Structure 1
Amino acid sequence: MTHIASNGPEALEKAHLRIGFVALSDAAPLIAAKVLEFGHRHGLTLELCRQPSWAAVRDKLISGEIDCAHALYGLVYGVELGIGGPRDEMAVLMVLNRNGQAITLSSRLAGALDAEGDLKAALATLGRPPVFAQTFPTGTHALWLYYWLAMHGVNPREQIESVVIPPPRMVDALEAGTLDGFCAGEPWHAVAEARGAGQTVIATSEIWPDHPEKVLACRRAFVERYPATARALVRTMLEACRWVDAPGHRDEISHWLAKPDALDVPRDLIAPRLVGREGGKRFKDAPLPVAFFGGGAVNYPRVSEGRWFLAQYRRWGLLREAEVPASHDEAIAARINQTALYCEAAAMVDPSWPLPDEAAHVDTFCDDAIRR
């Protein structure tokens, strides 16, 4: 194998990488990495490949058409387990962002919620099973939606119709009346409100504050074949995440996100929620903003987060104990989440960065559930 010279301390096995992304505001670090060419100092050239859906991201990762991707955390785990689709051995290199997602209801249903004061009663006013959209069957948006519905006494596997729609098409479906609500990332909630199609009723940071969301994903075969390249890519994306989080840069990145080859959405619908100035018309105060770096605290791929996704799959009947015993969850998450590689790459960017103490970490959810 030919090794390629790098500006960093390692020679790379592969210099040109094709990186997939979906049109969402939290693709900001990838857009910044390409526009500012952060990869060049690490010997990498990045080619961004916009994808129409998360299913396309999955299929092109598996086929090798793209090397890595901005991906739903839960997509990676779903593919690893072969839930509802093709299976492959997957890897999470780092977390790209936390928070920044939401649930929007149609204007009709939001009005019924105000009148009834109870979600279950509001859904009953429809006179039919409600239709909610999420972006991938095992993805984060499906799990945030199911968690929120269950908290309000609605069984998401029996009392609603759950459909998969790519994020850019959700507002059209809401406007057409074929959808009663959706869970996705921004800027599509802002677009729905601007078009009068719906209202954002909850931010996902209210369900699980500082929850993990998108990750930098690839097949494990990529890590095994190109370990130095994988470390260089993590270093590149850490620098991009740090840049996006710096004061003033979120407004700047909004200009690039608005361009036709990125989100193709007006900047004034992207910036307010990306920057954290607002969360929607119903919010008196903006919810926790999307976080990309936070001094490095955002990006560590905790094994405990992977265990949470596996537990949710069991909760909703997507994964059977007889197929994958819960006793295997720690090992599965440890295989997927490349914590050692992440630590090596982070130390090469800044040896002084403190690494998280996973054993001491505690998350508290909106219903007072606790995850360690």
Structure 2
Amino acid sequence: MADTKDQTSVSIIPSVNTEQVTDSGRRKLIQSIGAASIYSLVDPLVKSGAWAAGSDAPEKTDVKVSFIALTDCSSVVMANHLGLDKKYGIKIIPTKEASWAAIRDKLINGENDLSHILYGLVYGLQMGIGGQQKDMSILMSLNNNGQAITLSKALYQKGVTDGASLKTLMDKEKRDYTFAQTFPTGTHAMWLYYWLGNFGINPMKDTKIITVPPPQMVANMRSGNMDGYCVGEPWNARAIIDGIGFTATTTQAIWQDHPEKALGATAEFTKRYPNTCRAVMSAILEAGKYIDSSVSNKHSTAEVVSAPSFVNTDVNVIQDRMMGRYNNGIGKTWDDPNAMKFYNDGLVNYPYLSDGMWFLTQHKRWGLLKDHPDYLGVAKKVNNIALYKDAATATKTPLPKSDMRSSKFFDGVTWNGSNPAAYADSFKVKA
């Protein structure tokens, strides 16, 4: 974790004769003046000590935050769109990427500073799976809920409506069944595997698993390349509108209020730019609060993020499921109280250690990790709770009483972070 007690303040130089400075000095002067100018916009309450001992202006004021075209990038986009980033002395530059692999690579090589990222992708990098080993930081969770598993209309025409009927068909009609996730260690892979496993389908043995970037899911299903996929919205709703698929389950039905996307960075970045990280987190916290606070704000958000530079789809495809208005495409409609959440009085955003540990248990379950790691030790290293608490204080975001939480899954199994090795080994269906 970044040490909040040993930070360098940005000094503002009031007057310098620029003709007497070297080229290097001129560049440093211009950078200092730029930082001073944007810092003058910072809320006085934030300046006066909302951050930890000795904190001052952000070390880096222009911050590239990468994202994928998914509804759950909304708080990153809106932090910039609403000007909340200026309040904290920074400019968030939302940077659209084509795939999670691109997100990974550009984050690691420093081309992007922070990212809207799959929770499990960060843990995979920390453990050296799904990419080269890199010490990573999860600064906060960006959203809970709001993903789904879509199955093809071809399966529905053969009687499949849920996991149990899918298992029946697979036992009856032997062939290769192909399912897609978005990244091997990511959230969508883990939700898909957990759901299939619950119905006695071993994703590693009974199916063919492929990796497809989220915006390409619908086109691949339309082409007949897959039987089903797990992805974030709006690409499940899009399949229904296009008449090629139906929603077999939502991920909140698997695990209510599950962690989904995170704000991720390399550990190196968080140590070098702690004030910048706090500023970005603070702006995003306020954006999440804005989105969750009213139906009209959700409408406004959907209109913004539907643009070609962000999600690039019709606004109606985004807004219904953002509001919790669900239609599964085969006759069932409902209002879901546990649709995508961005704030929920801060419960969404806290980087619970138990959330990170859960992904490690599933990586072990599916053979991505060969041995049991130090579950709690890794989570304490990755989840930057100290920085998060600073941002929460700056934004008056409530904090939970514990770094761990307890959750009951749809199969009746409870996860609370205790005895993670036994939990990982307890599943009948595993690699």
- 277-286 vs 129-138, which moves further: 277-286
Determine if contact 1:109/1:123 at 8 Å carries over to the other structure: no
The answer for the alignment partner of 1:70 in structure 2 is 116
Aligned to 1:272: 320
Offset at residue 156 of structure 1 (A): 0.8
Shift of 1:125: 5.3
Question: Partners in 2 of 1:94 and 1:186 — Cα distance?
Answer: 20
RMSD: 1.6
Normalised TM-score (structure 1): 0.95
- Cα distance in 2 for residues equivalent to 1:114 and 1:94: 38
Residue matched to 1:310: 360
Matched, 1:340 2:378: no
Whole-angstrom CA distance in 2 between matches of 1:133 and 1:39: 36
| SS in structure 1 of the partner of residue 335 of structure 2 | coil
How far apart are 1:32 and its partner, in Å?
Answer: 0.8
SS in 2 for 1:17: strand
Q: Gaps spanning 5+ residues in structure 2: where?
A: 1-7, 11-34, 48-55, 417-431
Return the alpha-carbon distance in structure 1 between the equivalents of residues 348 and 60 of structure 2. 27
Of 385, 402, 409 in structure 2, the residue corresponding to residue 358 of structure 1 is 402
Residue identity opposite 2:292 in structure 1: D
Question: Which shifted more, 341-350 or 201-210?
Answer: 341-350
3-state SS of 1:141 partner: helix
CA contact (8 A) 1:250 1:271 kept: yes
Q: How does 1:252-263 map to 2 (within 5 A)?
A: 252-263=300-311
Match of 1:41 in 2: 87
Instruction: Tell whether 2:376 aligns with 1:330.
Output: yes
**TM, length-normalised to structure 2:** 0.82
Could you give the per-residue CA deviations for residues 29-63 of structure 1, whole angstroms, max 9, x where no partner exists?
11111211210010001111100000000000000
The residue type paired with residue 141 of structure 2 is V
- Change in 2 beyond 3 A, CA 1:115/1:43: closer
| Structure 1 residue 141 corresponds to structure 2 residue 191 | no
Q: CA deviation at 1:123?
A: 2.6
Among 251, 259, 262, the alignment partner of 1:204 is: 251
* Aligned position for 1:369: 413
Report if aligned partners of 1:112, 1:125 keep a CA contact under 8 Å in 2.
Answer: no
SS in 2 for 1:112: coil
Deviations 1:108-146 (A, max 9, x none): 113334489622112345541210000000000000000
Instruction: Give the CA deviation at 1:182.
Output: 0.3
Unaligned runs of 5+ in 1: none
Distance 1:341 1:115 in 2: 44
Say if 1:140 and 1:346 are closer, same or farther in 2 by CA, change over 3 A. Answer: same
Identity of aligned residues (%): 39
Count of aligned pairs between the two proteins: 366
SS of equivalent to 2:95: strand
Residue 19 of structure 1 is aligned with which of 43, 47, 65?
Answer: 65
Contact 2:120 2:186 in 1 (8 A): yes
Check whether the contact 1:134–1:141 (CA below 8 A) recurs between aligned residues: yes
3-state SS of 2:210 partner: strand
Deviates more, 1:124-133 or 1:32-41: 124-133
Alignment of 1:1-372 (within 5 A): 3=10, 4-5=35-36, 6=39, 7=42, 8-9=46-47, 10-114=56-160, 118-124=165-171, 127-247=174-294, 248-282=296-330, 283-287=332-336, 288-321=338-371, 325-326=372-373, 328-350=374-396, 353-358=397-402, 361-372=405-416
Consecutive aligned runs of 4 or more in structure 1 exceeding 4 Å deviation: none
Letter in 1 for 2:97: Q
Q: CA deviation at 1:279?
A: 4.5
Deviation string, structure 1 residues 61-103 (Cα, Å, up to 9, x no partner): 0000000000000010011111132121110000000000000
Larger radius of gyration: 2
Give the Å deviation of 1:284: 3.3
* In structure 2, C-alpha distance between the alignment counterparts of 1:111 and 1:205, rounded to whole Å: 26
